[in-house]
């Protein structure tokens, strides 16, 4: 599974740290999800997608 977190962050010009604060997880959590090392819960995924104002399916793509 891949994701577009990095691109979405770039659009808004926010750091992993800032995103982490916005969705209320640690920076490491954002980091490992962004790098595809971990898969978030649907709850966290929804919070992230909601923050970026895009559908979950656009932020996380199953290949």
Partner DNA sequence: TCATTATGTAAATAATAGTTTACATTTGGT
Partner DNA sequence: ACCAAATGTAAACTATTATTTACATAATGA
Binding site for its own copies (CB under 8 A): 1, 39-47, 49, 55-57, 60, 62
Q: By the 8 A CB rule, do 56 and 2 touch? A: no
Would you count residue 50 as binding DNA (CB under 7 A)?
no
Residues in the chain: 63
Structure tokens at 48: 């992230």
Would you count residue 39 as binding DNA (CB under 7 A)?
yes
Quick one: which of 21, 22, 44, 50 contacts DNA (CB under 7 A)?
44
Q: Using CB under 7 A as the criterion, what x/- string covers residues 2-31 for binding DNA?
A: -------x-----xxxx-----xxxxxx-x
- 12-16, Cβ contacts within 8 angstroms, sequence gap of 24 or more: 12/52
């Amino acid at each position: 599974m891949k994701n577009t977190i990095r691109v979405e962050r770039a659009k808004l010009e926010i750091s992993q740290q800032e995103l982490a604060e916005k969705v209320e997880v640690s920076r490491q959590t954002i980091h490992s999800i962004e790098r595809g090392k971990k898969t978030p819960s649907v709850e966290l995924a929804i919070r992230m997608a909601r923050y970026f104002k895009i559908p979950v399916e656009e932020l996380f793509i199953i290949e």
